[in-house]
């Protein structure tokens, strides 16, 4: 690959090698201590018709830019899919297993079966087709970037809806990630059903502090 190949270079090279269609897959919410894990897969069209204006790693885009890219992806993609893994299932499986399972499910839900898969970070085993795990793949491969946008926008919308159910935690702002404000809310209110119990900060919030235990003994 040439350094100036651009965001669509990997897909062009794979098509020249005889692989088509090519799917990208990515997730959103792995590092959050609350809310679901969301994975998405996308297959983009070949040529100009498959190019998404302003496409980039979802983490590098503003909220409005992500929404615009999302609308382009769902209209222009050959196929796309999204999978939501609830926080309880993340706790049951563990984050790494849940992450791989989410990526696998997203690929399985594509209406068009891919012949090659590009993944962000680490490989997804057991697909029965070739693939490449790419370091910072959402910044160098268009189909992974498209998947990252779909996953991120979907999850942000879910977290905004959860804010209405659990307003004390301000999920609409931090989307379930660990921030000082989120940690303060955890300390004051304890975890809600959307928090992931495997996270240390959430487990600590389940334990009453010393003055609370003293108050219970006095009563």
What is d(CA 57, CA 106) in angstroms, rounded to the nearest whole number? 18
Position 129 in a domain: yes
Q: Give the pLDDT score at 3.
A: 59
Q: How confident is the model at residue 58 (pLDDT cuts 50, 70, 90)?
A: confident
Q: What total number of domains does the chain contain?
A: 1
CATH value at residue 59: 3.30.420.10
User: Omega into 162 within 30° of 0, i.e. cis?
Assistant: no
The parent domain of residue 129 ranges over: 9-162
Q: How many CB atoms lie within 10 A of CB 68?
A: 17
Do 156 and 175 touch, CB atoms closer than 8 A?
Answer: yes
User: What pLDDT, in 10s, does the model give residues 74-110?
Assistant: 999 999 999 999 999 999 999 999 999 999 999 999 9
User: What pLDDT, in 10s, does the model give residues 65-82?
Assistant: 999 999 999 999 999 999
Q: How confident is the model at residue 214 (pLDDT cuts 50, 70, 90)?
A: very low
């Amino acid at each position: 690959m040439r350094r100036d190949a651009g965001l669509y270079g990997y897909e062009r090279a794979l098509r020249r090698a005889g692989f088509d269609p090519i799917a990208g897959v990515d997730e959103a919410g792995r590092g959050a201590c609350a809310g679901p894990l969301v994975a998405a897969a996308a297959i983009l069209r070949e040529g100009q018709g498959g190019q998404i204006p302003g496409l980039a790693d979802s983490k590098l885009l503003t909220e409005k830019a992500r929404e615009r890219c999302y609308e382009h992806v769902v209209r222009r993609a050959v196929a796309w899919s999204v999978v939501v893994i609830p926080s309880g299932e993340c706790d049951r499986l563990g984050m790494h297993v849940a992450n791989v399972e989410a990526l696998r499910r997203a690929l399985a839900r594509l209406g068009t079966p891919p012949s090659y898969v590009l993944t962000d970070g680490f490989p997804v085993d057991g697909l029965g087709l070739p693939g490449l795990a790419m370091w910072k793949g959402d910044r160098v491969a268009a189909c992974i970037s498209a998947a990252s946008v779909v996953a991120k926008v979907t999850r942000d919308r879910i977290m905004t809806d959860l804010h209405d159910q659990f307003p004390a935690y301000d999920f609409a702002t931090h989307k379930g990630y660990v921030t000082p404000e989120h940690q303060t809310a955890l300390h004051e209110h304890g975890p809600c059903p959307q928090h992931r119990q495997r996270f240390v900060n959430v487990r600590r919030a389940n334990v009453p502090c010393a003055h609370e235990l003293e108050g219970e003994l006095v009563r």
